[in-house]
Amino acid sequence: MHTTTSVHYQVENTTVEDLPEIYSFFEAAIAYIRLNNYVGWETYDKNFIAQDMKNKLQFKVVSNGIILCVFSICLTDELIWRERENHEAVYLHRIVVNPACKGQKQFQKILHWIIYQAGKKGLKYVRMDTWAQNKEIVQYYESFGFGFIENYTTPDTPDLPKQHRNLTVTLLELNLNTSTSSI
């Protein structure tokens, strides 16, 4: 999965040069979450970000030279999806928006791109997880056509990023065969 371009933005792999900006996005998101007493990231794992980048699994949405947001993907997620992992899905992880670009529907751009990529690979689902206690974010993703699968508490293992260990998450799935996604 590589670069995709639209009239107004493109999606491409992040680079090492992007790291300071990516870290600032995560830090701004954490500060925003704390300031507003939301359930969300309390920390982030720079090693996982670097590994995603190295493996070409982290992407940025760019417009006019500005990074609007970043996100990671994977094609298997057995630790979280367990017996539901069937190699028929692409998984979205670690979505974070440039604070200067909040409220500009960045997730819609990500979703449009990921649905296209999944279709090219013949995948049936887009899956993600988010904080179960944050009902607003769960409803937000559901508004794009994602369906609730279950709540699950992740294991405390170094195979997961620090911020994702021992965390109760809501598993969400977009079935691309029956999708009525509002992208």
The CATH architecture assigned to 4-127 reads 3-Layer(aba) Sandwich (3.40)
Question: For the whole model, what pTM was predicted?
Answer: 0.88
- Are 171 and 127 contacting, i.e. CB atoms less than 8 angstroms apart? yes
**Token pair of 68 as six digits:** 């609007």
Structure confidence by residue, pLDDT tens digits, 90-118: 999 999 999 999 989 999 999 999 999 99
User: Degrees (nearest 5) of the Cα angle 133, 100, 106?
Assistant: 60
Which residue ranges of the chain lie beneath pLDDT 50?
1-3, 5
The pLDDT value recorded for residue 2 is 47
Cβ-proximal residues to 145 (8 Å cutoff; 6+ apart), any chain = 174, 179, 180, 181, 182
**Token pair of 107 as six digits:** 């997730």
In a 3-state reduction of DSSP, which class is residue 137? helix
**Any idea what DSSP says for residue 29?**
H
- Mean residue pLDDT of the chain comes to 90
The pLDDT value recorded for residue 181 is 52
58-63 β-sheet, strand order? 4-5, 10-13, 58-63, 66-74, 89-97, 125-131, 168-175, 147-153
